Structure 1
């Protein structure tokens, strides 16, 4: 495991490494470029190889619907979805409201 800092190489003795993500060290959604240079036992360095990794928000958002417990007949009332959130780092940008008819409860 390694915490990567932009333009600071991380040296390992193994052919693989885990990119450690923490609250303090996160990668926001988007393209991120990584580079690998290898060195042989004679000290010769390879040409760099680079790859782009796409960090994508793949977590579904959570809908939280608040409404009054009861309302007088014939009166308008409000529905509120402002407590909805996206734990994957994105932002809720659209609320789709649907009336499903009388409840069976």
Structure 2
């Protein structure tokens, strides 16, 4: 069974990200996945819808707080299940010789 991505994972930001970082991430991802830049791509359209929804929730402080409270218990149980003593796997992009994805705004994986 596949785990559902959190709104923070959809926008590729940390749960502690400021409103400015969330807005910058949204703008960058929206530009990269915009249907005009990916004509005929159903995957890009679906991704754009996810990005728009995530930004709609995370850009509103009240909605963001409610979503954080709703997801808090689930995230805590996920962390306990994974265990804190396990080593983090290397990022898959770092393992191959391909150049990194070219974006105006680079996101770092959050911990």
Q: Same fold (TM over 0.5)?
A: no
Higher Rg:
1
Q: Give the structure-1-normalised TM-score.
A: 0.22
Q: Identify the structure with the greater helix proportion.
A: 2
Q: TM-score, normalised by structure 2?
A: 0.21
Q: Higher relative contact order by CA 8 Å / sep ≥ 6: 1 or 2?
A: 2
